[in-house]
Amino acid sequence: MRWSKMHIPTLRDDPADADAPSHRLLLRAGYIRQLMAGHYSLLPLGQRVRLKVIGIIREEMNRIGGQEILMPVMHPAEPWQRSGRWELMGDEMFRLRDRRGTELALGMTHEEIISTLAAELESYRELPQIWYQFQTKLRDEPRPKAGLMRTREFTMKDSYSFDLGPAELDVSFRLHRDAYTRAFERLAIPAIPAQASSGTMGGSDSTEFICPSPTGEDLIVLCPECGYAANIEIATSRLAPVDDSPERTVVLAAPEPFPTPGVRTIEDLAARYDAPADRQIKTLVYFLDGVLTLVLLRGDHALHEQKLVDATGATSIRPAQPEEIRAALGALPGSLGAVGVTDHPVIADKALRGRRGMYTGANIDDTHLRGVDVERDINVGQWADLREAAAGESCVNCGHGLEIERGIEVGHIFKLGYKYADAQQIRVSGPDGQPVMPVMGSYGIGVERAMAAIVEVHYDAKGIVWPVAVAPFEVVVVIAQQDDPTVAEAGEQVYQWLLDAGVDVIVDDRQVRAGVKFADAELVGIPFRVTVGKRGLATGTAELTDRATGSTVQVPLADLAQHVREAIAKSIAGPPLTGHGGAGGRA
């Protein structure tokens, strides 16, 4: 391939509206162009990287027995209606009608559609099955941003397993977890498997693969001691014991009201009335599927809404507005509580269980209660883990202090259970001849997001530093003096030698200064640069520069092809990933 003939529209300056490093660099280096918010064209370099990412994932899927298929992007409404997700997906699903008025959707995932194919399975002897595809997905993201990391149109590798029972599903789940671990290692993404919520997918166990990055949207709770990792939406921690003895708190036979004029926050009550936050009951009011519900937490704890959704199974959730709260409880936020409330559901965080001597609002403006015994005085209908784990709290497994880090979700695997098989009435003949419902798993990797994640951990001040396995080209041959016939001829000969040696190579044969060629090669991020120039030719050598380390060696022309192949092989087989942030995930 020739740089002079290839469309590589590099930009001199950073795009003004691109904040994430991957967004900025993929635009500057000529990999992508935006059509509209959340929709990007992949230019020739971008498509080359995308196909290499797909190739690695495909190899790992085939290794575990996956069979590649391809399903339509446009779906009829019926399978989604049978699963209950036609309404559940809400505004994120693109919907349309054809000329006959038939309701259709653009696929944001394919559990319903794969289940229609599995209806043809007849016997347990056909199980297990692992089917996968690389297909376009469309989601009406309310806030597409950060380039390829959050888009409305993207490529997903989604695979689905069908097994005879839970024990067999465990095997398929483990196979995918191992395949993903190998794929991300080969992609040079330092992905951490972390416990996660299943969300609208349903099912039980769920594991995300998170690439630590300051630009990530996910928060991951990590234990550096034992390796515990969980998305903050599901993470737990071990709380220090609390002493509620009469010597340490106000223990009363019944809650006692007291005036608190001007108190509106947990901090106000703590500062002015000697009511520590960990002895207060925070009362939040939400509508869960249209039902006004009181949500209780310890005063120093924060609610994570996904935990509330997971605990209640609610499909719609929103905080109540002040006027709605006053109409239901008789007071405004700042004086709310659940003591004596019997006409609204109450769900409480487990950290409140057994607590006494607590403070809470009295549902009268500017009035609070002291001496509250939670289980005696409050009609709690459900106890659940609702609080958000915090940095410094103790690991639930080993007791070590927890850390919280931002990250990019690059993969997600789910044990779906029987939800979709039941909705589509999938049955096979079991070992005893009786009908058996297969159990399903679902497993996804976002291809373009993986590309962005690679850039997020492999870049420097000069541009992208692609790992060899996914780089658009392994080597760029730079002809330093293009207008010198001898140098140009030697550069073409080196280019041909590398092609003949099986190297994925591009030659920069443009009629521009060598400095421009060097800058573009560094911006684009090609792992190795071979420079052919007058000085080297005078001694029968060319320069081989490693983009990641910046090191340059002089190599005899006769040995160049072999030396380049060895350098590429060494880079691909480099040391395990040990860190993240900036260039050089591999040494």
Q: What is the CATH number of the domain that holds 316?
A: 3.90.960.10
Can you give the pLDDT at residue 587?
A: 26
Residues 161 and 293 in one domain: no
pLDDT digits (tens, 9 = 90+) for 123-157: 999 999 999 999 999 999 988 989 999 999 999 99
d(CA 175, CA 396): 27
Residues 380 and 266 in one domain: yes
Residues 46 and 98 in one domain: yes
Domain boundary among 416, 433, 456: 456
Residues 176 and 82 in one domain: yes
Residues 419 and 469 in one domain: no
This prediction's pTM:
0.89
Residues 490 and 564 in one domain: yes
pLDDT digits (tens, 9 = 90+) for 74-102: 999 999 999 999 998 989 999 999 999 99
Residue 245 lies in a domain: no
Residues 270 and 184 in one domain: no
Q: Is the pLDDT of residue 578 over 90?
A: no
Mutual orientation of helices 44-63 and 447-457 as an angle, nearest 10°?
110
Residue 11 lies in a domain: no
Q: What is the mean pLDDT of residues 475-489?
A: 96
Residue 329 lies in a domain: yes
Residue 395 lies in a domain: no
Query: 241 Cβ partners below 8 Å, 6+ apart?
Result: none
Strand-strand pairing, 129-138 and 67-68: parallel
pLDDT digits (tens, 9 = 90+) for 215-239: 999 999 999 999 999 999 999 999 9
**Rounded to 5, what percent of the chain is helix, strand, coil?**
30, 30, 40
Can you give the pLDDT at residue 575?
A: 65
**Shortest CA distance to 505 belongs to which of 478, 484, 532?**
478
How many folded domains does the chain comprise?
3
Residue 484 lies in a domain: yes
Residues 473 and 333 in one domain: no
- What range defines the domain where residue 107 resides? 21-235+404-456
Residues 188 and 281 in one domain: no
Q: Is the pLDDT of residue 201 over 90?
A: no
Strand-strand pairing, 403-417 and 94-97: unpaired
168: domain CATH number is 3.30.930.10
Residue 28 lies in a domain: yes
- Residue pair 211/194 in contact (Cβ under 8 Å)? The answer is no
Residues 135 and 265 in one domain: no
- Give DSSP secondary structure letters for 120-138: T--BGGG--EEEEEEEEEE
Residues 284 and 380 in one domain: yes
Residue 13 lies in a domain: no
Residue 243 pLDDT class (50, 70, 90 cuts): confident
Residues 566 and 423 in one domain: no
Q: What is the mean pLDDT of residues 278-291?
A: 97
Residue 240 lies in a domain: no
